Structure 1
Amino acid sequence: MENPLRLEVIVASVRPQRFAPVVADWFLRAARADERFEVGVIDLIDIPLPTDLTETPEVRAFQERIAAADAFVAVTSEYNHGYPASLKTALDSVKREWRAKPIGFVSYGGLSGGLRAVEQLRQVVAEIHMVSIRETVSFHEAKRKFDADGETRDGAAIDAADRLLRQLAWWGTALRAARTSDPYPG
């Protein structure tokens, strides 16, 4: 593709012995195989964002990276029927840079597969003027869905990832064109 969309994949969990890298790496392979995207990774375990939302050099660098992106996918676990605090801090550390950009979700967890966390996130991203992609990739009982090489045979998840990327490319292209021709009035 001549002008690929800049997609940032946000890895939300920062817990010790987290399962997030397995799920994120699987999704990253799919995203990087899609020529419509230039893919980066924002692993929140590596970014010291202060929970009091103080503006620091790290926060400013994070804001600049978000501003440069055209689209996002959050890879999130579900903790106690919600999403990780690290992801809330990341969302709250940025303001205008999120606006008029699409975000998709890849979730994982126990029986719910992280879907309760995603439903909460949809409310939050709407408030910061993002467009939530309808298709979601969800892994129920995630640790049972991946082999030792980090691959899955979960056909529903594989299909959902393809649909998510198609929808994300459509929204990313449409919103990038709109932001270029008529800046978002948010």
Structure 2
Amino acid sequence: MQFIRYCDLKEQEFVLMEFSNMLLLVMALVEFLEREASSREVENQRLEKFVGGCLRTLEQMEYWESENGLLQRKVKKLLRKVKQQSCLIHEQDSKLDAREAKLLGIHGALETKTKVIKKLENETGELRALLEQLQDEKKGLLAKLGLAEKSTSSVSKVKSLFYKVIEIIVLEKMH
């Protein structure tokens, strides 16, 4: 009986050792699982941060896409305005070219008229000089004419006196 009891105790000791080993194994497994859980928790935190970053990036992308759409609409509007202004500028440029051509024509006509006016002024000056010369000649001729009239009137008076004298002489002789 003691041997049986000893065998039982040895068997219990063996079972106890197995349980102890199993317990150590379970404890090691629990410790491993705790580390794994801790590692996964850290990994989950990293993933949460990563997902948060991705969500912020996604929000930023959505914001920038909306801003991009707004900017594209503004660019289209500005392009339309630029196109309208370009057409307006082209139209005004054409009008300015037409006005410039007209002004050049007017300028040419004015230059021609200015030349004609200068030519006429020169001719007028020449005619004035000629007129002054003719007036001087006229004055000289009028003076000569006045002298000639005086001498003609003197000759007429002399003739008339001469005829009267002759008449008187003839009358005296006849009487």
The structure showing larger relative contact order (alpha-carbon pairs under 8 Å, at least 6 residues apart) is 1
| TM-score, length of structure 2 as denominator length | 0.17
More strand by share: 1
More helix by share: 2
| TM-score, length of structure 1 as denominator length | 0.16
Larger radius of gyration: 2
